[in-house]
Structure 1
Amino acid sequence: MKYIGDIMKKKFLLLILICLNFNFLFAQQKISDTEKLITIGKIYGFLKYYHPEVGKGKYDWDKEFIKYLPQVLEASDTETLSKIYSNWIDSLGSIEKCKNCDSDKLYFDKNFNLSWTQDSEIFNSELTAKLKYIEENRFQGENFYITAEPVGKIKVTNEPIYQNFSYPSEEYRLLGLFKYWNIIEYFYPYKYLTDQKWDSVLTEMIPKFRSVSNKDEYHSLVKELVAKLDDTHAWISFNGEVPKYLPIKISNIDNKAVVSGFYNDSLAKINNLKLGDVLLKIDEVDIQKETEKKSKYIAGSNANIKIRQTYNEILLGKDSSATLTIERNNLIEKIKVNRYDFDDFKYWDNLTTIKTKSINEIIGYINMASVKGADVSNIFKSFENKKAIIIDLRNYPAFIYKLLSRHLNSEKRDFSKVYSPNMNYPGMFSFKDNLQTGIKNNKNFKGKVILLVNEESISRSEFTVMALQTADNVITIGNQTAGADGDVVVFEYIGGYKTAISGNGIMYPDNTETQRKGIKIDIEIRPTINGLRQGRDEILEKAIEQGSE
């Protein structure tokens, strides 16, 4: 009986092994086309930026992708897929041991992710070992495809020029997706802050890029891809045609598109446009419904700025005129309005714009939109007896924060941490020395410094606010800023289409993030529709109240 029992045990074990083997083979066969394309997209980018021979520009890397793409799609299982990649890596040449790759250097690593290279469910042990070896002996020279600017942000270089690519074939649509995805994967400082994980974006976009059926759908899909960066600096342009603008600024107030300012007062008056007007329709298109449809194609660091950017996009147009349906003082009206070339507004060189003024005997006001470096000393001399100075940064100022800090600070202080892409370890970022502003000055302004901000405070404006927040006696008043800090990187999406992202990581010295959140605000004030209709500047009013205390 014991003999029979042993036979039964052996048969049972054999059956288990057969089942396990069957399940293993079945699992291999179940790899989908999307999963295969995810792997080639990541391998393409990894080798481009990590492999020494590829990094030197020895290969036409796009042609290599096009050559291996059909093989990858034809792979019947994960083992075959791994062999294709192993053979590809072997064909690129040997890699010498890296003498400088082992380092105890402190990195900003929140964007770093090479865990996929060790995924044993997709790659065999031979391939994972090769990928790990490449990481540990990565290229240390100047990469043919990407370099660093003096300020730390990247510059995309030596990418092939593709013409007549308004709607490329499937393999080139995928190539464009993978090029862009890998630039973000390795060199975008705020990847870790996106609402949707960047890996998930790739999984979602691959089938969409394969199935898109015409030029308009393709362009919309690329816009959707760019918008997933959640970055107010991010944009893409598919043609050189410049749209026409209404002469109004729009804010999102109570989830309504509200006129909150003018690019040109005279043109706004001619077109019967007033502060506090609520825009309901443009040429019979419902603005709120259109916002819901279009917002996924518009990049914005936070919800408020994304909605505002979408409103602006809806109001742009090729036609010289449009019909607006508005709500004004509880009445619905239709008005015919004109659109203009932005240059017609002369917005940036309006000679009537106030640089400074005395609000009263104790409070001075500085409008940073108009102030130049040469003005700073005289401004502070004229305000030396004031008890408070209001500095309005609801605009885009000149790069003169250091000149102001000389008068506001009693000593030099840190105001920002900066981290930039590490070109020798793609995906990692390196901290620079903290940025400082101010000088030792016992004659600095002793009164209150009040900074004004809102959604128009973006990039350099936010950076300037951070610097001026180091003043001795300072408060910041307003509402959430654009949340887009760090130098802008402009490069080309495949086909020659200009696109942009934030290039350096910026945060406060205490590690508080500014991207997406915006800068720190002490007293939050949001304009109201009634306030605008009454001609009030509610943020400035609060500042005057604070300055008078």
Structure 2
Amino acid sequence: MKKVTLILLLIFSQTIFSAAKITETEKLAATCKVWGFLKYYHPAVAAGKTNWDEQLFTILPKVESASTKEEYATVIEKWIDELGNIPENKPQLDDPKRDYFNKNLNLDWTQQEKLFSKSLSSKLKFIEENRFQGSNYYVNREGKGIALQFINEPEYAQFNWTDKNLRLLGLFRFWNYVEYFFPYKYVMDQNWDEALIEILPHVSDPKSEKEFVLAMREISIKLNDSHASTMSANMIKYLGGEKYPAFGARLVDNKSVIVSVANDSLAKIDDLKIGDIITKLDGVSIKEKAEEFSKYMQGSNRAAADLNSGFVMFTGNNDEFEIEFIRNNITSVKKVHRYPNEKIKRTPPKSVAKWEILENNIGVVRMSKVPKEEIAGMMEELKNTKSIIFDVRARPTYTDFLVSDYLNSEPKPILRLLYQDLSYPGRYYFNNEMQECGKINTDYYKGKVIVLVGSGTHSFGEQTAMSLQTAPNATVIGTQTSGADGPNYYFTIIKGFDSSFTSAGVFYPNKKETQRVGIVPNITVKPTILGVQQGKDEVLERALLYIENGK
């Protein structure tokens, strides 16, 4: 009996010992979270009283030497204790007039028993409850006309990818920027904690510079935000290449259709024609190529990502590549050339009117071409048309929603903005004042208002579409828009790595989301291969049909 008991105790103790073991990735992920949490919550750190990067470089070897949960927790607790006593600093009660948003705020990880001792979890909870309430040393919104900015972050001019400390610093910075200050974290496809676990090995122990660089790109793409991407000097070389084909293509039905050529002379060299359907690239189907590039192409939705990958997949570092293509129902294979960008003398696009009146008294406005100072004259010319089609498929000029002054009888709310609560990083709040468009105008436009949208309707273009939607007789026609509606904030993560993401949330007045969803058309019209080949603008044609028959 004693022997059996001894064996059982031995098995039990081995199980406990095994459970207490933690992997290198788990330790680094936990350290990333603690380092970021202290950066924005701890009174001494958030006030800028310590060199926080150096603190990370000092703690990493100690983290690496810890082999069990207990050892790891001891290292982190000692680190926190050395930062000094934390005075009780209970934040003021929430403002009952403020509309808070908590979908991104989740500090449950601080109480995770798998990695943290009860003592360490208790310390982290105390820091949260007595968090820093002053002006954070590392983040503010004090710049003119901005929603957010990261400050006091050394770039490290001598950054070398072989330096593990700096590689981890770059990843830790970016992960925590998103964790606490990206308003749309809650609608990302992948849990942000899981994304960290996935990417960490490629940053902590990459086999090559390419692996590290592409890992930094990939984690930014996981934001599912058309504004979000990380670039570096070598990114183009590793991602696609530094040479380009002499054509432009669009993904349609898992095939790539040539929609433009750079100039006639280059097109003749490779016998390229608008409407050629490319089915394979270097022996790989276009569908597979699009999937391959998808983890490196920014986009709030697949349509937006495909818009980018449709171009990048044909770039490269070699002078030529092979395509399988269809022309006149005949499938052929041939080689196509690539050129350095400076050698491609692109034919200027055909000039089109900023606005015009078509037959049947229908106005068409190309919002990407109309400057602010011409809005009044344009609307005067179009005021007696039976319908106006506003084309917002390309980025509009900054017309500041002035068109809506002529489409509404009174001011209309367009959207409400979501901002970071810097006193409680990870929490947000809706701005009390909604953005409006329009004015008191008894002589407003009474005809049909048609808004054309597509995957190229992006950011300010989506807000422009939202303002046009407020017209009493408005109809949106086209395909899903980019789904990144809000200010784009550009920042440097670390020397050589520049990034960006949407820095403030944009919602309809009723809090309906626009991120990833985009502006949803009332009538969906997807361009077809046949339409491209025939040079048709199928979205515009559908709009004209709707104006005539109301269907």
Which of 180, 185, 189 lines up with 2:174 in the alignment?
Answer: 180
- Give 1:41's aligned amino acid: C
Superposition map of 1:183-198 within 5 A: 183-198=177-192
Indicate conservation of the 8 Å contact 1:325/1:335, yes or no.
no
- One-letter amino acid of the structure 2 residue matched with residue 228 of structure 1: K
Match of residue 49 from structure 2:
58
TM-score of the superposed pair, with normalisation by structure 1? 0.89
Cα 1:372–1:296 change in 2 (3 A) is same
Asked if residue 546 in structure 1 is aligned to residue 546 in structure 2, the reply is yes
Query: What residue number does 1:368 align with?
Result: 367
Please state whether the residue corresponding to 1:257 is helix, strand or coil: strand
Cα separation, partners in 2 of 1:50 and 1:442, compared to 1, 3 Å: same
User: Displacement of 1:205 after TM fit?
Assistant: 1.7
Could you list the runs of 5+ residues in structure 2 that have no partner in the other structure? Answer: 237-241
What is the one-letter code of the residue matched to 1:22? S
Partner of residue 447, structure 1: 447
Deviations 1:454-493 (A, max 9, x none): 1111111111101110111100000111111111111123
> Is the aligned partner of 1:31 residue 2:22?
yes
Deviations 1:419-446 (A, max 9, x none): 0222111111121122111111111100
Once residues 270 and 182 of structure 1 are traced to their aligned partners in structure 2, the CA distance between those partners, rounded to angstroms, is 51
Deviation track 1:83-105 (CA, whole Å, cap 9, x = no partner) reads 22222112112233335443244
Asked whether the equivalents of residues 260 and 276 of structure 1 are also in contact (C-alpha less than 8 Å), the reply is yes
Matching residue within 213, 226, 244 for 2:220:
226
Q: Where do residues 41-440 of structure 1 align in structure 2 (5 Å cutoff)?
A: 41-98=32-89, 100-104=91-95, 105-148=98-141, 149-151=143-145, 153-239=147-233, 243=242, 245-246=244-245, 248-260=247-259, 273-281=272-280, 287-317=286-316, 325-331=324-330, 332=332, 334=334, 336=336, 339=339, 340-341=341-342, 345=346, 352-432=351-431, 433-440=433-440
Cα deviation, 1:268-316, whole Å, max 9, x if unaligned, reads 8767654422234567776444333222222221122223322211223
Count of residues in correspondence between the two structures: 536
Residue 122 of structure 1 and its aligned partner are, at CA, apart by 2.5
Using structure 2 for the length normalisation, give the TM-score.
0.89
Where structure 1 has 5 or more consecutive residues not aligned to the other structure, the ranges are 1-7
CA apart distance, 1:258: 1.6
Residues 134-176 of structure 1, C-alpha deviations (whole Å, 9 max, x = no match) = 1122122222222224545321212122235352333332222
Structure 1 position 377, deviation (Å): 1.0
- Structure 1 residues 525 and 434: CA distance shift in structure 2, 3 A: same
Contact 2:263/2:345 (<8 A) preserved: no
Equivalent-residue separation in structure 1 for 2:69 and 2:228 (angstroms): 37
Most deviating of 95-104 and 394-403: 95-104
Distance change in 2, residues 1:323/1:538 (3 Å): same
CA contact (8 A) 1:483 1:519 kept: yes
Rounded Cα–Cα distance in structure 1 between residues aligned with 2:423 and 2:443:
46
Contact 1:401/1:468, CA 8 A, preserved across alignment:
no
Instruction: Measure the CA separation in 2 of the matches of 1:84 and 1:179.
Output: 21
d(CA) in 1 for partners of 2:277 and 2:212? 33
Higher alpha-carbon deviation: 315-324 or 425-434: 315-324
Shift of 1:179: 1.3
2:520 is matched with 520
More displaced, 484-493 or 166-175?
166-175
Contact 2:91 2:129 in 1 (8 A): no
| Residue pair 1:455, 1:481 contacting (<8 A) in 2 also | yes
Check conservation: 2:263, 2:347, Cα contact below 8 A. Answer: no
Question: CA separation in 2, counterparts of 1:320 and 1:456?
Answer: 30
Query: How much has 1:520 moved relative to structure 2?
Result: 1.9
RMSD: 3.0
* Alpha-carbon distance in structure 2 between the residues aligned to 1:354 and 1:337: 34
Corresponding residue SS for 1:234 = coil
CA distance in 2, matches of 1:267, 1:158: 51
Secondary structure, aligned partner of 2:352: coil
TM-superposed CA distance for 1:209, in Å, is 2.1
Query: Would you say the 8 A contact 1:287–1:311 is kept in 2?
Result: no
